């Protein structure tokens, strides 16, 4: 009996180390879940499609940062590094191609106003970010998102999409001077930045991508004999092969090659190494001018297009991956409260960038993370000297990329089911476009929605009284 007891205790002791190694405290699962989530968020759904999608936002990013660099001496190297880091972090956090775009209203004021420089733009970005951060942390942004009617959100999206498309057509048709933000004469048909090049790129995208419907089917009638069946299979294979071409990536690479051919001396002006990163010094006057001229017009655009519209669009494009207005507001505020102090351009998310990257094939956070990594590498290796290539990039090609991004964003507004919803959406769109003010369009859309609801309530009461009297 004693020997049996000894053997049992020995076996229990032998098993003890393995049981100890198998046991893990509850908190130890947390890092593993985080790592697993990051892997899922950053994994490429399709290698070429994700790289292709990364090009979808460049139609807005390049013209704005190029104009600020040429007109106001923006530190392009620092901007590339910080926006690249933003791309990587948002891709890892959200798991979808969440864009990082310059704040357009602040950029427009900086380009057009000679007294509004980089310090004023930085102050405007910091003030806008602080307000968005507070709205997000307190939960007020989520409350606003729930109260805004869908038709008004669709109106904002449609106006932004049409605005992108009209700007794109201007890029394609006319010569652009980004340093003054003005259009010149009509673009020549021939040349490395001619109309023919832009039209060929547009046709190439249509042939490869069609209308962007993932469920496109080959409308071919199968034959009754082996020869026709073989012909059908060849057509099917060819169509699938063409549809997998990374068209936007190819177009961007060709644009870079053409930019170098147009100005070979640009390569000689490259200075290797990152630009110097310094903390911005902002005077009291710059804070005042930045808030009045930059923050006030930018804030409604950031709330409506960078947070509200992006929330709705993400739920449309990625069912089951809904993001709260709180998280988007906090990320926009957080990245600018850090980066702007070092001279990076004020940035936000944008429904147009999300639609563009989705249109070109972006489906995961790996799409924007790859774009962010490329930005960081360029910013570290050549810094601001990359502007020598970008200023010779074919503007008509950028216009083509921006055109399809705008169309994709506008097409998200096709789900209005009633005439009343369409009325509110189109009214909001028209006012936003004519006055170039998303805030004014938003107010008109909300007012129209409320009046229609009051009218409906009044008619229902009148009908109920008539029934009771009868």
Q: How many CA atoms lie within 13 A of 275 on its CB side?
A: 25
Contact call for residues 364 and 49 (beta carbons, < 8 A): no
CA distances from 196 to 201, 245, 400 (A): 9, 21, 12
Q: Which two tokens stand for residue 43?
A: 């994994």
The predicted structure's pLDDT at residue 461: 74
The predicted structure's pLDDT at residue 416: 83
Three-state secondary structure call for residue 102: strand
Q: Which two tokens stand for residue 317?
A: 């494009």
CA distance 332 to 139: 15
Three-state secondary structure call for residue 183: strand
Q: Which two tokens stand for residue 228?
A: 């026709």
The predicted structure's pLDDT at residue 97: 92
Q: Which two tokens stand for residue 300?
A: 């409604």
Q: Which two tokens stand for residue 405?
A: 């991004």
Q: Which two tokens stand for residue 65?
A: 């940062």
Q: Which two tokens stand for residue 415?
A: 């789900």
Tens of pLDDT along the chain (470 residues)? 444 444 444 444 444 444 334 444 555 566 777 888 888 888 887 778 888 888 888 888 888 888 888 888 899 999 999 999 999 999 999 999 999 999 988 998 888 788 899 999 999 999 999 999 999 999 999 998 888 888 888 888 888 888 888 888 888 888 887 776 677 788 889 888 889 999 999 898 888 877 765 544 444 444 456 666 677 676 666 666 666 667 788 888 888 899 888 888 877 777 887 888 889 999 999 999 999 989 988 888 889 888 998 998 888 888 877 789 999 999 999 999 999 999 999 999 988 888 888 888 888 999 999 999 999 999 999 888 888 888 888 888 888 888 888 888 888 788 787 888 899 999 999 988 876 577 788 889 889 999 998 888 877 777 776 666 65
CA distance 374 to 251: 17
Q: What is the pTM (predicted TM-score) of this model?
A: 0.79
Alpha-carbon 310 to chain mean position: 9
Name 411's Cβ contacts closer than 8 Å, sequence gap at least 6. Answer: 161
| Residue among 390, 267, 274, 389 at smallest CA distance from 343 | 274
The predicted structure's pLDDT at residue 436: 59
The predicted structure's pLDDT at residue 133: 96
> For the CA atoms of the chain, what is the radius of gyration?
27
Contact call for residues 256 and 389 (beta carbons, < 8 A): yes
| Residue among 321, 351, 364, 367 at smallest CA distance from 411 | 351
Give the pairing of strands 347-348 and 182-186: unpaired
The predicted structure's pLDDT at residue 5: 47
The predicted structure's pLDDT at residue 249: 84
């Amino acid at each position: 009996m004693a020997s049996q007891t000894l053997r049992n205790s020995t076996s229990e002791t032998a098993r003890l180390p393995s049981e100890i190694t198998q046991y893990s405290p509850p908190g130890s699962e947390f890092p593993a879940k985080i790592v697993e989530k990051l892997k899922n968020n950053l994994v490429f759904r399709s290698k070429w499609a994700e790289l292709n999608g990364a090009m979808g936002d460049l139609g807005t990013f390049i013209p704005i940062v190029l104009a600020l660099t040429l007109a106001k001496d923006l530190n392009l190297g620092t901007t590339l590094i910080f926006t690249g880091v933003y791309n990587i972090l948002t891709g890892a956090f959200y798991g979808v191609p969440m864009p990082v775009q310059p704040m357009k209203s602040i950029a427009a004021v900086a380009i057009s106003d000679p007294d509004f420089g980089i310090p004023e733009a930085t102050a405007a970005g910091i003030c806008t970010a602080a307000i968005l951060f507070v709205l997000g942390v307190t939960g007020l942004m989520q409350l606003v998102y729930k109260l805004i009617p869908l038709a008004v959100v669709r109106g904002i999206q449609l106006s932004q999409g049409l605005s992108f498309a009209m700007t794109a057509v201007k890029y394609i048709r006319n010569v652009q001077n980004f340093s003054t933000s003005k259009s010149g004469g009509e673009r020549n048909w021939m040349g490395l930045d001619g109309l023919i090049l832009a039209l060929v790129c547009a046709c190439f995208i249509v042939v490869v991508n069609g209308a962007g419907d993932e469920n496109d089917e080959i409308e071919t009638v199968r034959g009754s004999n082996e020869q026709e069946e073989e012909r059908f299979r060849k057509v099917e294979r060819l169509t699938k092969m063409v549809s997998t071409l990374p068209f936007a990536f190819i177009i961007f690479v060709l644009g870079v090659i053409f930019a170098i051919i147009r100005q070979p001396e640009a390569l000689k002006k490259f200075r290797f190494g990152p630009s110097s990163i310094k903390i911005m010094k902002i005077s009291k006057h710059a804070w005042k001018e930045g808030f009045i001229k930059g923050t006030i017009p930018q804030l409604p655009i950031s709330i409506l297009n960078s947070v509200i519209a992006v929330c709705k669009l993400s739920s449309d494009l990625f069912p089951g991956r809904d993001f709260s207005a709180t998280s988007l507001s906090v990320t926009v505020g957080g990245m600018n409260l850090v980066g702007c102090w070092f001279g990076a351009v004020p940035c936000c998310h944008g429904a147009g960038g999300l639609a563009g990257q989705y249109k070109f094939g972006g489906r995961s956070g790996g799409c924007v993370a790859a774009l962010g990594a490329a930005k960081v590498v360029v910013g570290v290796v050549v810094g601001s000297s990359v502007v020598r290539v970008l200023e010779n990039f074919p503007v008509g090609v950028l216009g083509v990329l921006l055109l399809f991004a705008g169309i994709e964003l506008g097409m998200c507004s096709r789900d209005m089911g009633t005439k009343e919803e369409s009325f509110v959406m189109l009214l909001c769109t028209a006012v936003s476009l004519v006055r170039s003010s998303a805030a004014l369009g938003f107010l008109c859309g909300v007012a129209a929605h409320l009046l229609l609801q009051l009218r409906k309530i009044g008619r229902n009461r009148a009908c109920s009284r008539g029934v009771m009297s009868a």
